[in-house]
Structure 1
C-alpha cells in the first residue's frame, strides 16, 4: 500500500498564486504551482498529481485535510456525472476539468484509490510536509522563482 499526503496553498483566495504538493510516506514528494487560482483548485491539483505520480496496482491511500477535495474525488463525482455534470441544484460543477481529470486518473489506475481526511495543522508529519511544500511552491510562483514539479527522492539509508 502507498500512502500519500496532499495539500494546496493559495496566497490570496481567489486569484492569488497557488501551490500544490504531495508527500509520499516513503519520503518522496513533488510540488508545483500556478500564478493564479483558488484554494480549491490547489487542493484538487495536489490530489490529481498524487494519483498520476503513483501508477500501478498497489492500493493508493491519499490523506488530505481538504474535505472538498476528498468529496469531489470520491463521493460527489458519481452523482455529478449521472446528472450530466450538474450539481443537485442544477448549476454547473465548479472546477469541472480538474474533477474529470481526477476521475479519469482513478479509473485508469489499475490499483484502487481511497481517501482519508486528516485534520490540518495538527502536527501530522506528512500533512505538515505537504503544506510546507505547497506554500513554498505558491510563494515561488508569486516571486517569479517557480519550483519545478519534480519528484524528490527520499534520502538513501546510510549503512555504517
Structure 2
C-alpha cells in the first residue's frame, strides 16, 4: 500500500502574450502582457514603462513581469513578436551561462547585452515549463495588438513626463 504511485497533477496551462515598445531607441519605453488561463477564460493585463530604455529591454521586461505574475508552477506558452527574446531564451541562454554570461562575436567573447534582464528571466524560466511562439507584429493578432496598444500607451506616459 505504501509504494503506490499516484498520478502527478499536471501544471495549469497558461498563455502569456507580451510586447514592448520604445519611442526612440533608446528613449521612453513601455511593456505589456496579457496572462490567460484558457481553461477558465480568466485574463490579467499588466503594463509599465521606463523613461530611458531600449525596445529589447522592454520586450524582455514584458516576459519577466508576466512570469512574475504567476502564482504557481505553470506550463506557459509565451506568445511574442520578439525573435530576440524567443531565440535568446530557447537557444542562446545555455551558451551564455556556460561562458560566464559572454556571447561569441567572431572569435572573441563579449559581454551579453542586457545581461541583468537575461539573468532575471533565466531564474523565472527555471520556475516554470515554458515554450515560446513567435507571431508577426502588427499583423492583426488580437492579443499582440492589445499588448502593443498598452505598451505604446505606457511609453507615451514616460515621453510626456520628460
What interval of TM-score do these two structures reach, taking the shorter chain for normalisation?
0.7 to 0.9
Unaligned stretches of 5+ residues in structure 1 = 146-160
Question: Is 2:54 the partner of 1:38?
Answer: yes
Task: Report the Cα offset of residue 27 of structure 1.
Answer: 3.2
Over 3 Å counting, the alpha-carbon distance change for 1:55 and 1:74 in structure 2 is farther
Question: Is 2:30 the partner of 1:11?
Answer: no
Unaligned stretches of 5+ residues in structure 2 = 1-12, 37-41
Task: Report the Cα offset of residue 57 of structure 1.
Answer: 2.3
Counterpart residue number, 1:115: 132
How much is the aligned-residue C-alpha RMSD, in angstroms?
A: 1.4
Distance 1:66 1:42 in 2: 10
Equivalent of 2:151 in 134, 145, 150: 134
Counterpart residue number, 1:65: 81
Task: Report the Cα offset of residue 79 of structure 1.
Answer: 0.4
Question: Is 2:111 the partner of 1:92?
Answer: yes
Instruction: Give the ranges of 4+ consecutive aligned residues of structure 1 lying more than 3 Å apart after TM superposition.
Output: none
Task: Report the Cα offset of residue 73 of structure 1.
Answer: 1.9
Equivalent of 1:80 in 82, 96, 104: 96
Question: 1:115 aligns to what SS in structure 2?
Answer: strand
Structure having the higher strand fraction is 2
Counterpart residue number, 1:104: 123
Counterpart residue number, 1:54: 70
Distance 1:129 1:10 in 2: 16
TM-score (norm 1): 0.84
Counterpart residue number, 1:20: 31
Deviations 1:105-130 (A, max 9, x none): 111x2x31111101111111100011
Question: 1:28 aligns to what SS in structure 2?
Answer: strand
**How many equivalent residue pairs?**
142
